[in-house]
Chain A
Amino acid sequence: MYKLSLQRIIMILAVCVIGIFFAVPNFVKDAKNTLPSWWQPVNLGLDLQGGSSLLLEVDLDAALKDRMQSLEDSARAALKEVRVRYQGISSNADGLKIKIDNANARSKAITPLRKMDEGLTVTEKDGSLIVMYDEQSLTQIKAKLVDQSIEIVRKRIDEYGTNEPIIQSQGSGRILVQLPGIQNPEEVKVLLGKTAKMTFHLVDSSTTVTEAKRGKLKSSSRVIRGSGGEQYVIVRKPAVGGETLTDAGVSFQDGAAAVSFKFNNLGAKKFGEVTKNNVGEQLAIVLDDEVISAPTIQSAITGGSGVITGNYTSESAQELALLLRSGALPAPLNILEERTVGAGLGADSIKAGVFSSIIGLIGVIIFLLLAYGLFGLFTSITVFLNLFLMLGALSVFGATLTLPGIAGIILTIGMAVDANVLIFERMREEVKNGRSIKDAIETGFSFAWGTIIDSNLTTLIAAAVLFYFGSGPVRGFAVTLAIGIITSLFTSVTVTRLIITAWYNRFKPKALPI
């Protein structure tokens, strides 16, 4: 017979006590603030506590196009250095195409082109050279772009100030942003919708916009529009890059809001030089491919800081300062999916879920008592215990409980009872076949075990697949289901066995009460 050694009893009871201990915070009011961080209730999903969830896509194509554009500039310089004449050069997100008619010149150009950056390959095709990144480098570049984007998104959201945001990468090139408590994500969407890439360019004074449009434009310059609808001709290559900014804030100039910024040492030095050498010229401040201001340089600015004036309200100045502080996104972000649940609906969902769980639980217990009597009582005890263990496990593992997750808990009640039913039915059968009570209990447990394992493992497989492919609420459901299967195996087999053995040893019954 199953031995009730003290060790075993202590172990089983210890698991129960620990489980219940970690479930307790779920029943404490305001546990978040009153209990220590390691002893907290289960996390509620956004569908239960209310909040906003955004799925963003990093526009890798746009970023690669940018990168190829700057590679194009390097290529011009590299070819000039080795004195190779080329008939045309163009770029897209995939790579560069350089038309060189002379075959000797073509082969001469290959090495310097490849050396422009790590991971470049140069191939010849129809009298042109194609410059591309190899597969491995491309993967690395993309991964880096996503990582940088996540970093910037995190900074912006932290600056915006929301409660416990979750920002994580999802799949390839996707970022999931979850903002508990945010009911109206419009402001956040505006913040994330801007790349906020700021650069300083000298205005090309050798030509005017009208002349440039007629074709009198150096290849190193381009026409760009300004925020007021006007147009400028600027030097393509930035005089100072936005990555050298260290800080930005709101200041007031003659009572109007303006954005002040500060460079790091390198930026300050560069800015100082540029302003010193170009007194009297215009310096265009370009944000996201639009000139936001183009002041004339009065004198050398060596302090490493400056002010952007324009038509700013204190809100829009605040917003721009925040964007500059958090840095530019390496690529634009597209919002693919957006889900917002109001706190009211979340609270109603919890109420509905908890209410129907309690009704279901009461129903199951009444049914068990009617069907199995004393053993039904034993099962009811294990069902309750299972509920506590599940809650405890979910809380301690930091799992997220969603509305489908609550449904998963209810479902587990049904499944947990199945193991007990299998065991009890087996016992009944064995008694009928003439075994003693003691033997029947023993064989009931050991014979039912194989079946219980088989049937639970198949459900566990379904849960694993759901977890792997699901997202958000569905994933929450899979986690609850899986945890429920494991805890229910413990309660309905191990704990039931302990109770029944204790009962048998104490009362030495002559018949099974089932």
Chain B
Amino acid sequence: MTMLKWITKDTNIDFMKARKFTYVLSAVLIILSCLSIYFKSFNFGIDFSGGVLMEIKSEQPINVEEIRSKLSVLKLDELNLQSLGVNGDELMIRAQAENANEEAQRKAVVDIKEILGNSYEYRRVENVGPQVGDELKTAGIVASVLAMLAIAIYIWVRFEWQFALGALIGLFHDILITVGLLSYFRFDFSLTTVAAILTLVGYSINDTVVNYDRIRENLKKYRKMPQLELLNKSINDIFSRTILTGLTTLIAVTPLYFWGGDALASFSFTILVGLIIGTYSSIYICTAFLNLFDLRAVERKDEDNYFGTIS
């Protein structure tokens, strides 16, 4: 009846066999991410860097060089022009006023509008002062750290500290690699990107929790099974779910990347990448990490603490 039977087929893959290899793989990815962040930094949007952002639209394709030379008379730092739209009839202008303060930036907006005139449609005009930019940066970092801590505490309460630590390490892994990719591909890093990162944190932890739930259940069910085998069995037990949910979310989000417009490009990229990395880390970071401990000893201490079942 179902055509995708292969997905729901029972698997018996020795996932943990590859764990030494994936440790190396993850380590390499994290190092590359750090290198990219260190050398290329981020393409911070004006949310964080402060500055002026304008999007203009015209009837015909816009000549970027012409605009650049027109605007060169203004004293602007880091003038950045980027053609948008299908046939280049839209243009994004990003700039920083020479002495970065709100007043100078406001003047920059007025000057740019004056030079370009009324033949363009001003689709977006944003002006973020440097003070607000710094505050938003702090808020973004605080939000991410707090969200991770809150999640770790929740898992600690529901499972054991080894699980919470494993989940936390998995989250760091996911975030580092994702922001590394954002840095490498020069995606716009804005408040929306932070939202996407926290969403991927939610998704990745979701996946990890499902794995952990099954490990805990199997620990009780198969009292004699060797630990590594038990971890493998747990992952295999729910592997069809991992694939099905992953694919569904991927199918739901992919159109957003292609048709969601420029404003959502970095958002959906982060979610797409995070989906894949999150699924991978649930198995190879979070679950593999548990093998460092004797889970049976942990489990004996902590008997049954499920939420009640519904009736």
| Contact across chains for A462 and B147 when beta carbons are under 8 A apart | yes
A142 to nearest B CB, angstroms? 18
Inter-chain contacts of B264 with A (CB < 8 A): 352-353, 403-404, 407
A422-452 interface code vs B (CB 8 A; 1 in, 0 out) = 1001001100100000000000011101110
Q: A361-B252, A363-B255 are in contact. Are A407 and B267 (CB under 8 A)?
A: yes
| Contact across chains for A411 and B253 when beta carbons are under 8 A apart | yes
| Contact across chains for A462 and B199 when beta carbons are under 8 A apart | yes
A432 nearest in chain B by CB position? B10
Q: How many A residues touch B, CB cutoff 8 Å?
A: 86
A336 to B47, CA, bound (A): 12
A505 to nearest B CB, angstroms? 17
A457 to B212, CA, bound (A): 15
Q: Does B13 contact A (CB under 8 A)?
A: no
Q: A361-B252, A370-B3, A469-B139 are in contact. Are A455 and B260 (CB under 8 A)?
A: no
A413 nearest in chain B by CB position? B252
| Contact across chains for B126 and A338 when beta carbons are under 8 A apart | yes
Q: Does B169 contact A (CB under 8 A)?
A: no
| Contact across chains for A459 and B203 when beta carbons are under 8 A apart | yes
Q: Does A384 contact B (CB under 8 A)?
A: no
B250 nearest in chain A by CB position? A414
Partner among A338, A352, A357, A463 whose Cβ is within 8 Å of the Cβ of B127: A338
Q: Does B119 contact A (CB under 8 A)?
A: no
| Contact across chains for B143 and A410 when beta carbons are under 8 A apart | no
Q: A342-B121, A470-B143 are in contact. Are A451 and B210 (CB under 8 A)?
A: yes
B1-22 interface code vs A (CB 8 A; 1 in, 0 out) = 1111001101000000000000
A181 to nearest B CB, angstroms? 15
Q: Does B150 contact A (CB under 8 A)?
A: yes
| Contact across chains for B192 and A474 when beta carbons are under 8 A apart | yes
B287 to nearest A CB, angstroms? 15
| Contact across chains for B191 and A349 when beta carbons are under 8 A apart | no
Inter-chain contacts of B150 with A (CB < 8 A): 461, 464-465
Inter-chain contacts of B260 with A (CB < 8 A): 352-353, 356, 407
Inter-chain contacts of B296 with A (CB < 8 A): none
B245 nearest in chain A by CB position? A418
Partner among B125, B245, B251 whose Cβ is within 8 Å of the Cβ of A360: B251
For A428, A451, A468, A514, the residue with the greatest tally of chain B CB atoms inside 10 Å of its CB is: A451
B252 to nearest A CB, angstroms? 4
A29-57 interface code vs B (CB 8 A; 1 in, 0 out) = 00000000000000000010000000100
B163 to nearest A CB, angstroms? 11
Inter-chain contacts of B131 with A (CB < 8 A): 336
A170 to nearest B CB, angstroms? 11
B264 to nearest A CB, angstroms? 6
Q: Does A391 contact B (CB under 8 A)?
A: no
A465 to nearest B CB, angstroms? 4
A332-360 interface code vs B (CB 8 A; 1 in, 0 out) = 00111111111011001100110111011
A477 to B125, CA, bound (A): 22
A269 to B256, CA, bound (A): 68
Q: Does A421 contact B (CB under 8 A)?
A: yes
| Contact across chains for B263 and A403 when beta carbons are under 8 A apart | yes
Q: Does B142 contact A (CB under 8 A)?
A: yes
| Contact across chains for A451 and B256 when beta carbons are under 8 A apart | no
For B4, B238, B244, B271, the residue with the greatest tally of chain A CB atoms inside 10 Å of its CB is: B244
Inter-chain contacts of A93 with B (CB < 8 A): none
A411 to B255, CA, bound (A): 11
B133-187 contacts to A (CB < 8 Å): 136, 139-140, 142-143, 146-147, 150-151, 154-155, 158
| Contact across chains for A360 and B254 when beta carbons are under 8 A apart | yes
B252-279 contacts to A (CB < 8 Å): 252-256, 258-261, 263-264, 267-268, 271
Q: Does A183 contact B (CB under 8 A)?
A: yes
A359 to B251, CA, bound (A): 9
Partner among B209, B238, B249 whose Cβ is within 8 Å of the Cβ of A415: B249
Q: Does B283 contact A (CB under 8 A)?
A: no
B43 to nearest A CB, angstroms? 18
Inter-chain contacts of A367 with B (CB < 8 A): 4, 247-248, 251
Inter-chain contacts of A464 with B (CB < 8 A): 150
Inter-chain contacts of A371 with B (CB < 8 A): 2-4, 7-8, 244
Inter-chain contacts of B147 with A (CB < 8 A): 461-462, 465-466
Partner among B143, B199, B256 whose Cβ is within 8 Å of the Cβ of A481: B199
A313-348 interface code vs B (CB 8 A; 1 in, 0 out) = 000000000000000000000111111111011001
Q: Does B194 contact A (CB under 8 A)?
A: yes
| Contact across chains for A348 and B126 when beta carbons are under 8 A apart | no
Q: A349-B263, A425-B238 are in contact. Are A474 and B194 (CB under 8 A)?
A: yes
| Contact across chains for B202 and A338 when beta carbons are under 8 A apart | no
Q: Does B128 contact A (CB under 8 A)?
A: yes
B168 to nearest A CB, angstroms? 12
| Contact across chains for B4 and A370 when beta carbons are under 8 A apart | yes
Inter-chain contacts of A465 with B (CB < 8 A): 143, 146-147, 150, 198
Inter-chain contacts of A421 with B (CB < 8 A): 241, 244-245, 248
Inter-chain contacts of A376 with B (CB < 8 A): 2
Inter-chain contacts of A131 with B (CB < 8 A): none
For A361, A403, A454, the residue with the greatest tally of chain B CB atoms inside 10 Å of its CB is: A454
A65 to B254, CA, bound (A): 56
A364-396 contacts to B (CB < 8 Å): 364, 367-368, 370-374, 376
Inter-chain contacts of B267 with A (CB < 8 A): 404, 407
Determine, out of B23-31, B75-83, B224-232, B302-310, the stretch whose residues face the partner at the interface. Answer: B302-310
Partner among A336, A341, A360, A474 whose Cβ is within 8 Å of the Cβ of B191: A474
B6 nearest in chain A by CB position? A371
Partner among B106, B140, B241, B258 whose Cβ is within 8 Å of the Cβ of A425: B241
Inter-chain contacts of A249 with B (CB < 8 A): none
Inter-chain contacts of A165 with B (CB < 8 A): none
For B3, B129, B142, the residue with the greatest tally of chain A CB atoms inside 10 Å of its CB is: B129
B87-129 interface code vs A (CB 8 A; 1 in, 0 out) = 0000000000000001000100010000000000111111111
Inter-chain contacts of B207 with A (CB < 8 A): 455
A455 to B213, CA, bound (A): 10
A335 to B127, CA, bound (A): 9
Partner among B136, B205, B248 whose Cβ is within 8 Å of the Cβ of A459: B205
A23 to B7, CA, bound (A): 35
Give me 20 other A-B pairs in contact (C-beta within 8 A), A450-B306, A455-B210, A461-B154 excluded: A338-B128, A339-B125, A339-B127, A342-B122, A352-B264, A361-B252, A374-B1, A403-B264, A411-B249, A413-B252, A414-B249, A414-B253, A415-B249, A418-B206, A432-B10, A450-B309, A455-B206, A458-B154, A462-B151, A477-B195
15 A-B pairs, CB-CB below 8 angstroms? Answer: A336-B128, A363-B251, A371-B2, A371-B244, A372-B2, A407-B268, A411-B252, A411-B253, A417-B248, A425-B8, A445-B310, A451-B210, A459-B203, A473-B192, A474-B191
Chain B residues engaging chain A, CB cutoff 8 angstroms:
1-4, 7-8, 10, 55, 57, 102, 106, 110, 121-129, 131-132, 136, 139-140, 142-143, 146-147, 150-151, 154-155, 158, 191-192, 194-195, 198-199, 201-203, 205-207, 209-210, 213-214, 237-238, 240-241, 244-245, 247-256, 258-261, 263-264, 267-268, 271, 306-307, 309-311
